[in-house]
Structure 1
Amino acid sequence: MDYQRVEGDREFVARLEHGRDWREQIEAFADAEGIDAAFFFGLGAVQDATVFFYDQEVQEYYPVEFDEPFEVTTALGNISHLEGDRFAHTHVTLSHEDGTVVGGHLDSATTFAGELYVREFDTQLEREHDETTDLDLWPL
């Protein structure tokens, strides 16, 4: 395991705006606040969602699109840089009306309502390509 010790810096709570993309709002917030590395979690509801699933054998993301409302029971992620831009690496668990869930890597979702907690770290993290997994990971 590679690791790096970080200290927490600023903390934020935020309410996501209705009708805007969930992940894009986090990235815009990070840009506005100059956040280079952070951890976040949130909850709420979305009107639709596109979730990526990573096929480890083929090493490709496959999108699954949902055109229906969900409760966001958990949204977890981190903020770092990817190819020079701030990137909100976001994973979600989304609940259907009957209580069944889907989850994965959030690509996009139209926010119905959302609340977020963000804790900034005192470092900058830039994702780099990892040959073994074919993913962009932190080079710690």
Structure 2
Amino acid sequence: MEYKRFDNTIIARIDKGEEILEQLKVIAINENIKLASINALGAIDDFTVGVYKIDEKKYYSNSFKGYYEITSLTGTISTMDGEYYAHLHMSAGNEKGEVFGGHLNRAVVSAVCEMVISVIDGKVDRIYDEGTGLNIFKFD
């Protein structure tokens, strides 16, 4: 992985064999990012995404292996209890044009992933919400 910062924008290249969430965390910690928006595209060959069932307060995950193009990868970096916290969603299409997606749990790059991190001046922490069972934005 390599990246370069331009004021409040970071352009990153995540390379073959690297896991996207792990590399994003490295960048965020190295750059002391407390709040940001994420957008990316690329190619992956092993990924897990999930869907949250609110009535059960539980995530269900689906794993995929093969040739996939990221059609959308978007999300946020924030903090929870002052520590790094990322929340990303991804959709990826196969050679038939079928697209699968959801909450991103894991994605291994097969060729390259190009990511744009838009750093936002400020900080938004998260707090656990009993009603939904999710960690939601907490505004002071």
Q: Quick one: which amino acid aligns to residue 131 of structure 1? A: E
For residue 45 of structure 1, report the CA deviation from its aligned partner: 0.8
Structure 2: tracts of 5 or more residues without a match = 1-6
Aligned pair in 2 of structure 1 residues 18, 84: CA closer, same or farther (>3 Å)?
A: farther
Percent identity reads 33
Partner of 2:126: 127
Map of 2:113 onto structure 1: 114
1:97 matched to which residue of 2?
Answer: 95
The aligned amino acid for 2:55 is E
For 2:11, the aligned partner's letter is V
Equivalent residue in structure 1 for 2:70, among 72, 75, 94: 72
| 1:83 Cα deviation from its structure 2 partner | 4.5
Task: Tell me how far apart the structure 1 counterparts of residues 19 and 83 of structure 2 sit (CA, whole Å).
Answer: 17
Moved over 6 A (4+): none
Aligned to 2:3: none
SS at match of 1:47: strand
Structure 1 equivalent of residue 23 of structure 2: 25
Q: How far apart, CA to CA, are the structure 2 residues paired with 1:107 and 1:84?
A: 21
State the SS of the aligned residue for 1:67: strand
TM-score where L is the length of structure 2: 0.88
Q: What is the one-letter code of the residue matched to 1:106?
A: L
Aligned-partner SS, 1:110: strand
Once residues 128 and 134 of structure 1 are traced to their aligned partners in structure 2, the CA distance between those partners, rounded to angstroms, is 10
TM superposition shift of 1:86 = 1.3
Question: Helix, strand or coil for the counterpart of 1:69?
Answer: strand
